[in-house]
Chains A and B, each alone.
Chain A
Amino acid sequence: MLTLEKRPQPSKAFAYLTPLIAILATMFFGGLLFMALGKNPFESIRTIFWDPLFGEFAFYYRPQLFVKGGPLILIAIGLSLGFKAGIWNIGAEGQYIVGAICGAGAGLAFYPMEAWYIFPIMIIAGALGGWAWAMIPALLKVKFQTNEILVSLMLVYVADQLLASMSLGLLKNPEGQGFPGSRNLKDYPSAFNDEIITGTGMHWGVAAAFIAVIFAYVLLNRHMLGFSIRLTGEAPRAAKFSSVNPNRIILFCLGMSGALAGLAGMFEVSGPSGQVSIDFASGYGFTAIIVAFLGRLHPVGIFFAGLLLALTYIGGEMAQGNLGLPSAAIQLFQGMLLFFLLAVDLLTNYRIKLSRKEAV
């Protein structure tokens, strides 16, 4: 009979090992899934995880790793702060959309003027947009104890409608022959989020993601506020006694994750995507939840997790083109990863012991 015994301290070794075990388990069961779909499991897994990095066309796919990973890391870093404190912002997708709308809107307001300060203004507008959208659940939670999970999620659907309204109305390209969607920011040099180094996929959003990783690391390990965040999550009573103001933590965590998600949206709309359009939302806000957990809510872990999930996006697209693997299979694959991760996390906090059957 197997029983579980709680470890006095979470195991350090397993904390590092569990993400790897989860990835291997996902590859195994993912392979079975692909086999059930009539594909060669080894070829599928290789196409997803190996070919984008080392295959024939890797020179094209490698930069994509940053393009897709940047927003994921940026959003996940913000989310991880809240998750650490037990504040569940799951509406990052909405904050991402609003950030994109505000950022693009600020840039397009200047069109066709060219000036160096337009892009910085867009960055600020994008961050503020995401921040403001996240402040809705934050203020409601602080003022009325409203559940932030439900409110932030409801606001995703509201943001979706807002996006539709913007791309059909206020931000619609006046020279677009009636097609929905805004002007393409790629044709507007002052607002275009170009690659910093050509051919690497490194745009300003990726740079921001790097900065966010370092910033979060310093905050959590070297700063009083970061300590308060961790304390609130791990020992709420201790936090109360040491006079941590919970409202301040809520406002900071939700606001920060909103601002980072807004930034991600702004960098995406002004760079890889180029325009505000109805199908702009791509689910990064939800995938970032997986990234945050896979990275064990640790900034450095999130960095690698973001790149890995970006790899599944790119490899998934490749597998779609080369092997005819449906895109939904990749979505399922990502969901599975989170499942296995949560399941094997048991090993971090508990010891499995073989014992004789007792009366329980």
Chain B
Amino acid sequence: MDLSAINPALLLASLLVAATPILIAGIGELVVERAGVLNLGVEGMMITGAICGFMATILTGSPALGFLFAALGGAVLSLLFALLTQVALANQVASGLALTLFGLGLSALLGQGYVGLKPPATPKLDIPLLSDIPFFGTVLFNHDIIVYLGIALVAGVWAALKYTRVGLILRAVGENHDAAHALGYKVVRIRVMAIMFGGACAGLGGAYISLIRVPQWTEGMTAGAGWIALALVVFASWKPWRVLLGAWLFGGVTVLQLNLQAAGVSVPVEILSMSPYIITIIVLVIMSADKSRAPASLGRIFHASS
């Protein structure tokens, strides 16, 4: 065992990278849940985004287009969920599960010819001067653009929910859809848009795994990241900045256990590999004491009886 081989600067830098997929997917799901919809299909949308982005990148050679198509793929898949829950008024829990099962199958089918290929690398945003600062340069200023996009999304969602009219309407729909409907807001339309935003975010997060974090395609490669993103929202008590905090916590645990595996610690590999999931459970238990913050209409079916 050689713990000195772990470089703290690189560890923190890879923490940011490991946190990004669940951060982006989590902030998307936060918006969906603030609109009063519980979409359990994050895992399915993430893996669909992962393969859509991967395919687009391989075919066009451009990671930027890849991410675009990933977001598109996630959003289109989420439309299926929107159709089920908002139009056909189906149970949201069951529909979300269906979306996950469907997405896993769809991605496996789409990805058949893409196993073992290597996508072109996404360039790092090498900020001059800043990235040369010792320690902080490596940790903060030597990443690809998506890492910053994730943080910008959190800031954007926070500001939009807190300071804009759109945010206020979205929250109104999530807290009391009947009252919002009575005020003349289009509950279903707003929710469908929120669901699509969540889908696009999940797709982006998934593509981050297949294009940058791993980078290659294997079936079921998101390995529960979508479910961790869902747990993040609960952990965050539906507050945007806490999603960032939670994502860093989980990113930190993931990176640390991978580093410990590489350093050959005498703890069995399996125990280390299960640690992110166990820690998710522990954090959920700690946070579930405070239920007061959940949007009041979360998961309830809205049917305007004219």
Interface residues of A (CB under 8 A from B): 3-6, 88, 90, 136, 140, 144-147, 149-151, 153-158, 161-162, 164-165, 169, 286, 289-290, 293, 326-336, 338-339, 342-343, 345-346, 349-350, 358, 360
Contact check, A150 vs B90: say whether CB atoms are below 8 A apart: no
Contact check, A150 vs B284: say whether CB atoms are below 8 A apart: yes
Q: A146-B281, A331-B108, A346-B90 are in contact. List 9 more A-B contacts (CB 8 A).
A: A140-B285, A147-B284, A150-B227, A154-B227, A158-B278, A326-B108, A328-B112, A332-B108, A345-B88
**Dominant SS at the B interface?**
helix
Complex contacts, A349 vs chain B, CB 8 Å: 89
Contact of B80 among A146, A150, A339 (CB under 8 A): A339
Knowing A339-B84, A350-B89, say if A334 contacts B101 (CB, 8 Å).
yes
- B164 on interface, CB distance cutoff 8 Å: no
Complex contacts, B64 vs chain A, CB 8 Å: none
Please give the distance in Å from B173's CB to the nearest CB on chain A: 16
Complex contacts, A290 vs chain B, CB 8 Å: 101
Contact check, B112 vs A326: say whether CB atoms are below 8 A apart: yes
> What CA separation (Å) do A154 and B276 show in the bound complex?
9
Complex contacts, A164 vs chain B, CB 8 Å: 270
Most chain B beta-carbon contacts within 10 A, residue among A153, A346, A349: A153
- B266 on interface, CB distance cutoff 8 Å: no
Contact of B90 among A88, A147, A342 (CB under 8 A): A342
Please give the distance in Å from A172's CB to the nearest CB on chain B: 13
Complex contacts, B93 vs chain A, CB 8 Å: 88, 149
Complex contacts, A350 vs chain B, CB 8 Å: 89, 303
Contact check, B109 vs A329: say whether CB atoms are below 8 A apart: yes
> What CA separation (Å) do A358 and B89 show in the bound complex?
21
- B288 on interface, CB distance cutoff 8 Å: yes
Contact check, A150 vs B234: say whether CB atoms are below 8 A apart: yes
Complex contacts, A151 vs chain B, CB 8 Å: 281, 284
> What CA separation (Å) do A158 and B224 show in the bound complex?
11
- B293 on interface, CB distance cutoff 8 Å: no
Complex contacts, B89 vs chain A, CB 8 Å: 4, 346, 349-350
Contact check, B40 vs A328: say whether CB atoms are below 8 A apart: no
Contact check, A335 vs B101: say whether CB atoms are below 8 A apart: yes
Contact check, B303 vs A4: say whether CB atoms are below 8 A apart: yes
Could you pull out 21 A-B pairs where Cβ atoms are within 8 angstroms? A140-B284, A145-B289, A146-B281, A146-B285, A150-B227, A150-B234, A150-B280, A150-B284, A157-B274, A161-B270, A161-B274, A162-B274, A286-B101, A329-B109, A331-B105, A332-B105, A335-B104, A339-B80, A342-B88, A342-B91, A346-B88
- B106 on interface, CB distance cutoff 8 Å: yes
Contact check, B102 vs A343: say whether CB atoms are below 8 A apart: no
Complex contacts, B1 vs chain A, CB 8 Å: none
Contact of B306 among A3, A156, A326, A327 (CB under 8 A): A3
Please give the distance in Å from B209's CB to the nearest CB on chain A: 15
Complex contacts, A149 vs chain B, CB 8 Å: 40, 93
Complex contacts, A339 vs chain B, CB 8 Å: 80, 84, 98, 102
Contact check, A150 vs B230: say whether CB atoms are below 8 A apart: yes
> What CA separation (Å) do A290 and B83 show in the bound complex?
19
Most chain B beta-carbon contacts within 10 A, residue among A140, A165, A335, A358: A335
Knowing A147-B284, A345-B90, say if A157 contacts B109 (CB, 8 Å).
no
Knowing A147-B284, A150-B284, say if A358 contacts B306 (CB, 8 Å).
yes
Chain A residue with Cβ nearest B227: A153
Contact of A360 among B224, B285, B289, B304 (CB under 8 A): B304
Contact check, B88 vs A289: say whether CB atoms are below 8 A apart: no
Contact check, B98 vs A145: say whether CB atoms are below 8 A apart: no
Most chain A beta-carbon contacts within 10 A, residue among B105, B106, B234, B291: B105
Please give the distance in Å from B123's CB to the nearest CB on chain A: 32
Complex contacts, A343 vs chain B, CB 8 Å: 83-84, 88, 90
Complex contacts, B268 vs chain A, CB 8 Å: 165, 169
Contact check, A145 vs B90: say whether CB atoms are below 8 A apart: no
* Binary interface encoding of chain B residues 105-147 relative to chain A, with 1 for a CB under 8 A from any of its CBs, else 0: 1101100100000000000000000000000000000000000
Complex contacts, B40 vs chain A, CB 8 Å: 149
Contact of B223 among A157, A293, A328, A333 (CB under 8 A): A157
Complex contacts, A332 vs chain B, CB 8 Å: 102, 105-106, 108-109
Contact check, B105 vs A342: say whether CB atoms are below 8 A apart: no
Chain A residue with Cβ nearest B112: A326
Complex contacts, A158 vs chain B, CB 8 Å: 274, 277-278
Please give the distance in Å from B82's CB to the nearest CB on chain A: 12
Chain A residue with Cβ nearest B93: A88
Knowing A145-B288, A146-B288, A153-B227, say if A342 contacts B109 (CB, 8 Å).
no
